Protein backbone atom coordinates (compact mmCIF):
# COMPACT_ATOMS: atom_id res chain seq x y z
CA UNK A 1 0.00 0.00 0.00
CA UNK A 2 1.20 3.51 -0.77
CA UNK A 3 2.31 6.19 1.65
CA UNK A 4 -0.09 9.11 1.17
CA UNK A 5 -1.12 12.33 2.90
CA UNK A 6 -4.31 13.56 4.48
CA UNK A 7 -5.52 16.75 6.13
CA UNK A 8 -6.66 17.00 9.74
CA UNK A 9 -8.21 19.69 11.92
CA UNK A 10 -8.23 19.54 15.71
CA UNK A 11 -11.41 21.51 16.28
CA UNK A 12 -12.20 24.33 18.79
CA UNK A 13 -13.93 22.02 21.31
CA UNK A 14 -10.68 20.05 21.56
CA UNK A 15 -8.23 22.98 21.70
CA UNK A 16 -10.46 24.57 24.39
CA UNK A 17 -10.06 21.42 26.53
CA UNK A 18 -6.28 21.27 25.88
CA UNK A 19 -6.56 18.00 23.92
CA UNK A 20 -4.16 18.83 21.06
CA UNK A 21 -1.47 16.52 22.43
CA UNK A 22 -3.85 13.71 23.35
CA UNK A 23 -5.43 13.68 19.89
CA UNK A 24 -2.09 13.95 18.10
CA UNK A 25 -0.82 11.00 20.17
CA UNK A 26 -3.77 8.91 18.93
CA UNK A 27 -3.03 9.93 15.35
CA UNK A 28 0.63 8.96 15.76
CA UNK A 29 -0.27 5.66 17.40
CA UNK A 30 -2.46 4.94 14.36
CA UNK A 31 0.67 5.07 12.19
CA UNK A 32 0.34 8.65 11.00
CA UNK A 33 3.20 11.16 11.03
CA UNK A 34 2.62 14.90 11.47
CA UNK A 35 4.51 16.47 8.54
CA UNK A 36 2.98 19.96 8.97
CA UNK A 37 1.11 21.60 11.83
CA UNK A 38 -0.05 25.05 12.83
CA UNK A 39 -2.47 26.52 15.35
CA UNK A 40 -4.66 29.18 13.77
CA UNK A 41 -7.79 31.22 14.35
CA UNK A 42 -9.87 30.68 11.22
CA UNK A 43 -11.70 33.65 9.75
CA UNK A 44 -15.37 33.38 8.82
CA UNK A 45 -14.41 33.56 5.14
CA UNK A 46 -11.83 30.79 5.55
CA UNK A 47 -14.31 28.50 7.33
CA UNK A 48 -17.05 29.19 4.76
CA UNK A 49 -14.63 28.42 1.93
CA UNK A 50 -13.34 25.26 3.57
CA UNK A 51 -16.84 23.88 4.14
CA UNK A 52 -18.33 25.27 0.88
CA UNK A 53 -19.45 21.76 -0.10
CA UNK A 54 -21.88 21.91 2.87
CA UNK A 55 -23.16 25.43 2.06
CA UNK A 56 -26.71 24.24 1.38
CA UNK A 57 -26.95 22.02 4.47
CA UNK A 58 -29.12 23.27 7.36
CA UNK A 59 -26.20 23.04 9.79
CA UNK A 60 -23.81 25.18 7.68
CA UNK A 61 -24.20 28.45 9.62
CA UNK A 62 -23.77 26.76 12.99
CA UNK A 63 -20.80 24.77 11.68
CA UNK A 64 -19.00 27.92 10.51
CA UNK A 65 -19.76 29.71 13.80
CA UNK A 66 -18.40 26.75 15.75
CA UNK A 67 -15.23 26.48 13.66
CA UNK A 68 -14.37 30.14 14.33
CA UNK A 69 -15.31 29.98 18.04
CA UNK A 70 -11.70 29.33 19.03
CA UNK A 71 -8.32 28.21 17.69
CA UNK A 72 -7.91 25.08 15.61
CA UNK A 73 -4.81 23.04 14.79
CA UNK A 74 -4.51 22.22 11.09
CA UNK A 75 -2.19 19.35 10.24
CA UNK A 76 -0.91 17.33 7.32
CA UNK A 77 -0.59 13.64 8.19
CA UNK A 78 1.44 11.09 6.27
CA UNK A 79 1.27 7.31 6.38
CA UNK A 80 0.14 4.11 4.67
CA UNK A 81 -3.29 4.89 3.16
CA UNK A 82 -3.42 8.04 5.30
CA UNK A 83 -7.04 9.04 4.50
CA UNK A 84 -8.39 5.70 5.71
CA UNK A 85 -6.01 5.44 8.67
CA UNK A 86 -7.11 8.88 9.86
CA UNK A 87 -10.82 8.19 9.35
CA UNK A 88 -10.53 4.88 11.18
CA UNK A 89 -8.90 6.46 14.24
CA UNK A 90 -11.32 9.44 14.20
CA UNK A 91 -14.43 7.27 14.17
CA UNK A 92 -17.91 8.16 12.88
CA UNK A 93 -18.90 11.82 12.43
CA UNK A 94 -21.54 11.47 15.14
CA UNK A 95 -19.79 10.41 18.38
CA UNK A 96 -22.92 8.43 19.29
CA UNK A 97 -22.07 6.12 16.36
CA UNK A 98 -18.28 6.10 16.83
CA UNK A 99 -16.46 2.92 17.85
CA UNK A 100 -14.76 2.51 21.21
CA UNK A 101 -11.18 3.76 21.23
CA UNK A 102 -11.67 6.31 18.44
CA UNK A 103 -10.94 10.02 18.85
CA UNK A 104 -14.58 11.04 18.51
CA UNK A 105 -15.87 8.35 20.88
CA UNK A 106 -13.25 9.36 23.42
CA UNK A 107 -13.44 13.15 23.16
CA UNK A 108 -16.30 14.52 21.01
CA UNK A 109 -19.09 16.49 22.66
CA UNK A 110 -21.62 16.33 19.79
CA UNK A 111 -21.91 15.83 16.02
CA UNK A 112 -20.86 19.48 15.59
CA UNK A 113 -18.24 19.69 18.36
CA UNK A 114 -16.72 16.40 17.23
CA UNK A 115 -13.08 17.25 18.02
CA UNK A 116 -11.50 16.34 14.67
CA UNK A 117 -11.91 16.66 10.92
CA UNK A 118 -10.27 14.39 8.36
CA UNK A 119 -10.33 14.41 4.56
CA UNK A 120 -12.70 11.86 2.98
CA UNK A 121 -10.63 11.07 -0.16
CA UNK A 122 -7.13 11.50 -1.58
CA UNK A 123 -8.52 14.10 -4.00
CA UNK A 124 -10.08 16.19 -1.22
CA UNK A 125 -6.98 15.74 0.94
CA UNK A 126 -4.89 17.46 -1.75
CA UNK A 127 -7.43 20.31 -2.01
CA UNK A 128 -7.70 20.74 1.77
CA UNK A 129 -3.92 20.61 2.31
CA UNK A 130 -3.42 23.30 -0.34
CA UNK A 131 -6.13 25.43 1.31
CA UNK A 132 -4.00 25.86 4.46
CA UNK A 133 -0.38 25.00 3.60
CA UNK A 134 2.26 26.09 1.14
CA UNK A 135 4.36 23.19 -0.19
CA UNK A 136 7.46 24.45 1.67
CA UNK A 137 5.58 24.27 5.01
CA UNK A 138 5.26 20.49 4.65
CA UNK A 139 8.35 18.56 5.71
CA UNK A 140 8.08 14.80 5.40
Whole-angstrom Cα distance, residue 49 to residue 17? Answer: 26
Residue nearest to ligand CMP (CB): 117
**Residue placing its CB nearer to ligand CMP in the complex, 2 or 97:** 97
Provide the minimum distance between the beta carbon of 83 and ligand CMP in the complex, in angstroms, as a whole number: 12
Strands 33-40 and 116-118: unpaired
Sites of contact with ligand CMP (CB under 6 A): 54, 59, 63, 93, 111-112, 114, 117
Q: Is 18 left (phi over 0), alpha (psi -120 to 50) or beta?
A: left
Q: How far apart are CB 73 and ligand CMP at their closest, in Å?
A: 13
Q: Which neighbouring-strand residues pair with 3?
A: 80
C-beta of 129: minimal distance to ligand CMP in Å?
Answer: 15
Active site residues: 117
Residue 4 vs 93, nearer CB to ligand CMP: 93
Element (H, E) at 76: strand 72-80
Pick 38 or 54: Cβ nearer ligand CMP:
54
Rounded CA-CA distance 106/30 in Å is 15
Amino acid sequence: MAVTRTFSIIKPDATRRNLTGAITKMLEEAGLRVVASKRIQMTKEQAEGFYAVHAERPFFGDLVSFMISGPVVVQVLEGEDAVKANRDVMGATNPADAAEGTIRKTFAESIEANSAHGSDSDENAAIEIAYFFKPEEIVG
